C-alpha cells in the first residue's frame, strides 16, 4: 500500500463504499490493472513547489496564475507562472478537493466534500462564501462563460450542474461509477467524468443526459482536464503515477506520461502547451511540456 501520514477521509469513504459493493479496491500501485499499451509521450520537465498535499489545480483564464488546493492545511496556493512561485496562500476550509477558476479572473470555486459545501472564493478580498447543500462534492469544472458549475458527487454516482452558489439544480447526470474528476467540452455539449474504481472515463451527452461512450484507461483515473480545443483529455491515475493522454474523437488512450508521487489533479495551460499535475505526496506541481 502507499504509505503516507495524510488522513484522507473523503477518499477512505469512497474506498469503503466500493468495498461494500464487492469491489476489490485499495491504494497499492504494485497491483494496478494495466492500462492500454501505449508509448510514453512526454515526461516531467520540472516541478513547482506548492502547499502540503496538493489535490487539484486550475489554470487562470489570463495564463498568469495557477490555483492549487492543499488538502491537509485547507488552503489554496496562488502560483505566479512567470516565476513559478507561490505568491499568496488563501484559507478555504477543511479538506479542499476540486477547484475551478472563473473566466473573469475574479473567483475560484472549491469543493469541500467533508463540509458538503461549495466555496466561492473571491480572489481580491480572499473571502470565501460557503454554500452547504447536503451533498459531498469531489470535483469541480465550469462550463463556458462560468455560469454553470459541474460537481462530481462521487458517493452518489452522479454529476450535478448548479450555479456558483450551489442553489438551483440545472441538471444531474446519473449512472457514473464513483465520479471524481469532470471536464466540460469547449462547446459544453459533452462531459467527461472519471470513474475512479471502474477504470474508465464516461462520455456524457449533455442534451440527452445519456452516457454515450466509455473510454478504458487502466486503474484509478481520478482528475481529468481537456486541451483548449477539446481534442485531448488528460486523466491522472492516483496513486498509480501515470497520466493518460486520450484522443476525444477516437475515445481511446493514445499515450502515457509517467508522473511520480501521486498525481491527482490536472490542468492544461490556456495556450495548450503545458500540462500541470498535482503531486499529492510531494507538495509540488509537475510541469509537462506538451
Distance from C-alpha of 116 to C-alpha of 167, rounded to nearest angstrom: 13
What local confidence, expressed as pLDDT, does residue 34 receive? 62
Domain hosting 76: range is 56-289
Long-range contacts of 198-203 (CB under 8 A, 24+ apart): 199/33, 199/35, 201/233, 201/235, 201/246, 202/176, 202/177, 203/251
Q: What is the pLDDT of residues 53-83, one digit of tens each?
A: 999 999 999 999 999 999 999 999 999 999 9
Model confidence at 151: pLDDT above 50: yes
Residue 146 lies in a domain: yes
CATH number where 94 lies: 2.130.10.10
**pLDDT tens sequence across 192-215:** 999 999 999 999 999 999 999 999
pTM over 0.85? The answer is: yes
| Share above pLDDT 90 across residues of the chain, in percent, rounded to a whole number | 91
**CA pair distance 66, 109, nearest whole angstrom:** 13
pLDDT above 50: residue 276: yes
Average pLDDT over the chain, rounded to an integer: 94
Domain assignment present for residue 220? The answer is: yes
Q: In what order do the strands lie in the sheet with 221-226?
A: 221-226, 232-237, 242-247, 252-258
Diameter of the chain by CA atoms?
48
Distance from C-alpha of 205 to C-alpha of 167, rounded to nearest angstrom: 23
Are residues 263 and 236 in contact, defined by beta-carbon separation less than 8 angstroms? yes
Of 67, 62, 81, 84, the residue nearest 278 (C-alpha):
67
- The predicted pLDDT at position 28 comes to 54
**Does residue 16 form part of some domain?**
no
Grid cell locating 36: 492500454
282 domain residue, yes or no: yes
Helices first, then strands: H and E counts in the chain: 1, 24
Strands 263-268 and 274-279: antiparallel
Domain count for the chain, please give it: 1
Instruction: Give percent above pLDDT 70 in the chain.
Output: 95
Amino acid at each position: 500500500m502507499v504509505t503516507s501520514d495524510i488522513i484522507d477521509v473523503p477518499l477512505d469513504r469512497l474506498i469503503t463504499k466500493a468495498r461494500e459493493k464487492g469491489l476489490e479496491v485499495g491504494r497499492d500501485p504494485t497491483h494496478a490493472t494495466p492500462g492500454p499499451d501505449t508509448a510514453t509521450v512526454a515526461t516531467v520537465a520540472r516541478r513547482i513547489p506548492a502547499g502540503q498535499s496538493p489535490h487539484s489545480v486550475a489554470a487562470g483564464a489570463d495564463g498568469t496564475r495557477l490555483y492549487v488546493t492543499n488538502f491537509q492545511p485547507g488552503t489554496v496556493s496562488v502560483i505566479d507562472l512567470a516565476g513559478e512561485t507561490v505568491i499568496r496562500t488563501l484559507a478555504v476550509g477543511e479538506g479542499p478537493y476540486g477547484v475551478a477558476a472563473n473566466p473573469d479572473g475574479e473567483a475560484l470555486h472549491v469543493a469541500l466534500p467533508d463540509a458538503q459545501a461549495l466555496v466561492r472564493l473571491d480572489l481580491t478580498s480572499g473571502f470565501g462564501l460557503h454554500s452547504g447543500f447536503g451533498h459531498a462534492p469531489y470535483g469541480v469544472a465550469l462550463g463556458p462563460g462560468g455560469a454553470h458549475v459541474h460537481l462530481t458527487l462521487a458517493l452518489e454516482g452522479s454529476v450535478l450542474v448548479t450555479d456558483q452558489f450551489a442553489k438551483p439544480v440545472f441538471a444531474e447526470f446519473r449512472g457514473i461509477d464513483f465520479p471524481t474528476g469532470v471536464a466540460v467540452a469547449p462547446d459544453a455539449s459533452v462531459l467527461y467524468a472519471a470513474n475512479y474504481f471502474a477504470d474508465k472515463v464516461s462520455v456524457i451527452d449533455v442534451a440527452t443526459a445519456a452516457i454515450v461512450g466509455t473510454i478504458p484507461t487502466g486503474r484509478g483515473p481520478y482528475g481529468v482536464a481537456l486541451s483548449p480545443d477539446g481534442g485531448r483529455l488528460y486523466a491522472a491515475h492516483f496513486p498509480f503515477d501515470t497520466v493518460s493522454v486520450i484522443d476525444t474523437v477516437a475515445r481511446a488512450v493514445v499515450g502515457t506520461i509517467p508522473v511520480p508521487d501521486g498525481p491527482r489533479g490536472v490542468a492544461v495551460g490556456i495556450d495548450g502547451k503545458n500540462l500541470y499535475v498535482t503531486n499529492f505526496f510531494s507538495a509540488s506541481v509537475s510541469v509537462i511540456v506538451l
